[in-house]
Amino acid sequence: MGIIGTGKIGSIVARILTAMGMRIIAYDPIENLECINLGVEYMSIEQLFIESNVISLHCPLNTKTKHLIGQSAIEKMKNGVMLINTSRGEILDSSAVINGIKSKKICYLGLDVYEQESDLFFRDLSCEIIQDDVFERLLTLPNVLITAHQVFFTSNALKNIADTTLNNIKLFGDGFDLSTDVLIPKL
């Protein structure tokens, strides 16, 4: 199992999979001592691509990680790799990933995020024709599983959402104009 990004979530994934007896290899510019103590072996991202049967992404989106998984990265991966992205949609170049699936380089794809997700997730589109052809293509593939990003369903996140909502109701009642100001309480 290759893990790219061993921060909070990546290290939890490493802990779970280590408990299941899996060999875990990882890439992160900053090595996590907890992961090292679990026996996680850090290596270059290129070596991780070469050795991994499964690659799970847990890295932030920035200029270095945008389209981190593109054509050249996919070419380095094992044939039949399983790719899982639960970090940010733009980490993957969706068109390159589709090509990887069509060539059978990628045999399974799990997405909890998608490049253009803001236009697609968190609203009812059941009576709409989706205009995103890349997303539509991914939906037709039998070895692709797409779910809506669920990170905000933790008890802490839901409490923060409720606290923010209640605070904004109070501020509105106190006469604040919330149409132009987004007021977020200190948590």
Q: If the chain, 187 residues long, is cut into consecutive pieces of 10 residues, what is the mean pLDDT of each piece?
A: 94 94 95 96 97 94 91 96 89 92 93 64 62 70 75 69 81 75 51
- In a shared domain, residues 114 and 178: no
- In a shared domain, residues 65 and 33: yes
The count of domains in the chain is 2
pLDDT at 116: 54
**Distance, first Cα to last Cα, the chain:** 36
pLDDT at 115: 61
pLDDT at 35: 96
Q: Catalytic one among 58, 88, 90, 115? A: 88
- Domain with residue 76: its CATH number is 3.40.50.720
Let me know if 46 is a catalytic residue. no
pLDDT at 187: 46
The model's pTM: 0.74
- In a shared domain, residues 61 and 123: yes
> For residues 86 and 78, is the Cβ–Cβ distance under 8 A?
no
- In a shared domain, residues 39 and 73: yes
Q: Catalytic one among 58, 90, 115, 117? A: 117
Annotate 10-24 with DSSP letters as a single string.
HHHHHHHHHHTT---
- In a shared domain, residues 55 and 103: yes
- In a shared domain, residues 94 and 59: yes
Phi, psi for 117 (deg, rounded to 5): -65, -25
- In a shared domain, residues 166 and 178: yes
Let me know if 117 is a catalytic residue. yes
Q: Is 182 helix (H, G, I), strand (E, B) or coil?
A: coil
- In a shared domain, residues 166 and 142: no
- In a shared domain, residues 146 and 164: no
- In a shared domain, residues 74 and 136: yes
- In a shared domain, residues 78 and 23: yes
pLDDT at 118: 55
pLDDT at 37: 96
pLDDT at 120: 55
pLDDT at 184: 52
Write out the residue range of the structural domain in which residue 34 sits: 2-151
Q: Where do the DSSP E strands lie in 58-173?
A: 81-85, 106-111, 144-146
- In a shared domain, residues 19 and 57: yes
